[in-house]
Amino acid sequence: MKKVLGIGNALVDILVHIDNDELLNRFGLQKGGMEMIDAQRKHEILEAISGMPQTMATGGSTSNTMHGLARLGATAGYIGKVGDDDLGRLFRKECDRFGVIPHLITADQDTGVAITFISPNAERTFATYLGAAATMQPEEVEEAVFDNYDLIHIEGYLVFNHDLILDVCRKAKIHGLQVSMDMASYNLIACNLEFVQMLLRDYVDIIFANEEEAKAFTGVENVEALHALSEYCPIAIVKVGKDGSYIKEDGVVTAIAPVEAVRRDTTGAGDIYASGFLFGYVNGYDALKSGNLASRLSARLIEYVGAKLPDEEWEEIKKEER
């Protein structure tokens, strides 16, 4: 089995259910989007939600994907930057617990957090304080790490740091790795369109996008967006929510049917979809089998609050894959 390395913003997720948009409007958060916040705004939001029920877990898009890959039985490593604080130590501990090989960098800043507001329809709005994650520099990513892996999965949220993501892509190609990328957020894509176009054209082999991200990048929707994305990457994947997903590889389009589920929280659904597809890909599955595994995983995840499946679900999933 090929080995997968991930790089992204190492964050701790704080999830809060909201009944209406009052908090989103108060803090100027665009519903369904992801906004970067500073330390002061983080403090204000945490104070505002202090009396509300919360769920906390290690997160970050690529971290979630590597977690899923490790739980499926793949060799998965993770590069991220955390603070020398309780949340940073929690992040390291969780990597060890679930079998993700940590290649973590330690910073003087606080570990980043992603405050996730979950609306009644399960739509998520993120207020992200990057903290230590924002300070990751190209020279801190040890090039020798690339020798131990076959594919690197890159978090689209890193596009705010052009030098870092470009350096990682170049190192990956020098060391013979394939590059997978998740677009991560439609507003980040829109603000960095030309840069992302260059990345996909010159470096990326596999691109994941949901329907909003695909439209922000291509200007069109659904299968049309899939075709447009495939002009940049050998493998393009567009997720269309309750209608399933589409994969285009070697000019062939494969429609992946959705799996019925009770939708409680979509946090991490795209991340675990990537886990399923990449697990299939590195094991030589065809597009249909990889996509079906990805679809099953994301359907199961949205029945829970948070971006991690419980242990008993992983046991069932692994039995199904045998």
263-278 tens-digit pLDDT: 887 888 999 999 999 9
The rounded mean pLDDT for the chain is 93
218-264 tens-digit pLDDT: 999 989 999 999 999 999 999 998 899 999 999 999 999 999 998 88
**Domains held by the chain: number:** 1
Residue 29 DSSP label: P
Give every CB contact of residue 104 below 8 A, 6+ residues apart in sequence.
10, 78, 79, 80, 81, 82, 88, 91, 92, 95
174-220 tens-digit pLDDT: 999 999 999 988 888 888 999 999 999 999 999 999 999 999 999 99
Pairing of strands 111-118, 124-131: antiparallel
Tokens of 89: 């130590």
> Is 45 part of a structural domain of the chain?
no
Residues spanned by the domain of 298: 4-9+60-111+130-321
Residue 322: predicted pLDDT:
67
> Is 158 part of a structural domain of the chain?
yes
278-287 tens-digit pLDDT: 999 999 999 9
Q: Catalogue the long-range contacts made by 47-50 (C-beta closer than 8 Å, 24 or more residues apart).
A: 48/23, 49/14, 49/16, 49/23, 49/115
Instruction: Identify the CA nearest to 172 among candidates 134, 196, 207, 145.
Output: 145
Residue 111: predicted pLDDT:
94
pTM here? 0.90
Residue 1 in this model has a pLDDT that exceeds 80: no
Helix ranges (H only) for 112-204 are 162-174, 186-191, 193-202
> Is 286 part of a structural domain of the chain?
yes
Could you tell me what percent of the chain has a pLDDT over 90? 77
- The CATH number of residue 257's host domain is 3.40.1190.20
> Is 195 part of a structural domain of the chain?
yes
> Is 116 part of a structural domain of the chain?
no
> Is 169 part of a structural domain of the chain?
yes
Instruction: Identify the CA nearest to 159 among candidates 149, 169, 151, 150.
Output: 169
